[in-house]
């Protein structure tokens, strides 16, 4: 859809969606690699710890594409409905990648921890992801800024923690995304467990 739009309008306005979706695909790839290694070697080896950190760093990118609706406007290059459907396609793809990533890691965590503990960890992770989405959209921090500008990023984050009343938008936006991501993920998790149990029942029969 992006290519068709570019050919029709000769505008590169939404080409960034391709890059955003490429970043969104990193987390599930790392999650697959991580869970494969965890099954054979446990979670506390340094390789798995590094992969876990890498997964956490890239995970917000999978859900970040939802915020690209902020770019939707009447440009008169193509129909605004076309742009809306196009962004929705990218956002949906990104969220599918993100939820797949969460499910893979959560399933391995669920096998090793209690239900309450595993859900508590996942809820905390989703909260951090929601906060990272805010940082990416409004403060314009990127994933690689963790390495390139760690001091500035740390100052920006700490200022919002120390002075919460001065950054009410931070908390409102974070809670909105937390509610969206966590509620949908809860349904996906329950459906996934249901399908797994149904599959086991059929195989036993």
Residue whose token pair is 């409905």: 81
pLDDT in tens, 7-54: 989 888 999 999 999 999 999 999 999 999 998 888 888 899 999 999
Residue 158: count other Cβ atoms within 10 Å of its Cβ.
Answer: 10
On whether the CB atoms of residues 24 and 94 are closer than 8 A, the answer is yes
Which pLDDT tens digits describe the chain residue by residue (205 residues)?
A: 999 999 989 888 999 999 999 999 999 999 999 999 998 888 888 899 999 999 999 999 999 999 999 999 888 899 999 999 999 999 999 999 999 999 999 999 998 889 999 999 999 999 999 999 999 888 888 888 888 888 888 888 888 888 887 888 899 999 999 999 999 999 999 998 888 777 665 555 5
- Does pTM top 0.85 for this prediction? yes
Tokens of 120: 């508590």
Tokens of 64: 């970040």
On whether the CB atoms of residues 60 and 26 are closer than 8 A, the answer is no
Residue whose token pair is 């939820």: 99
- In the chain, at which residue ranges do the beta strands (DSSP E only) sit? none
Note the pLDDT of residue 202. 59
Length of the chain: 205
């Amino acid at each position: 859809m992006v290519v068709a739009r570019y050919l029709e309008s000769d505008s590169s306005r939404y080409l960034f969606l391709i890059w955003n979706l490429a970043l969104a695909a990193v987390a599930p790839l790392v999650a697959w690699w991580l869970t494969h290694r965890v099954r054979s070697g446990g979670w506390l080896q340094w390789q798995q710890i590094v992969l876990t950190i890498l997964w956490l760093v890239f995970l917000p990118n999978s859900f970040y594409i939802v915020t690209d609706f902020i770019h939707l406007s009447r440009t008169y290059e193509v129909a605004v409905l076309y742009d809306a459907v196009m962004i929705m396609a990218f956002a949906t793809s990104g969220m599918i990648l993100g939820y797949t990533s969460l499910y893979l890691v959560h399933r391995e965590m669920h096998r090793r921890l209690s239900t309450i503990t595993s859900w508590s960890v996942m809820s905390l992770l989703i909260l951090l992801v929601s906060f990272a989405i805010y940082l990416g959209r409004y403060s314009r921090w990127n994933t690689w800024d963790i390495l390139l500008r760690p001091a500035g990023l740390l100052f920006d984050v700490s200022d919002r923690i120390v002075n919460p009343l001065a950054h009410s938008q931070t908390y409102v936006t974070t809670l909105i995304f937390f509610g969206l991501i966590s509620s949908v993920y809860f349904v996906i998790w329950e459906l996934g467990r249901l399908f797994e149990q149904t599959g086991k029942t059929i195989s036993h029969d």
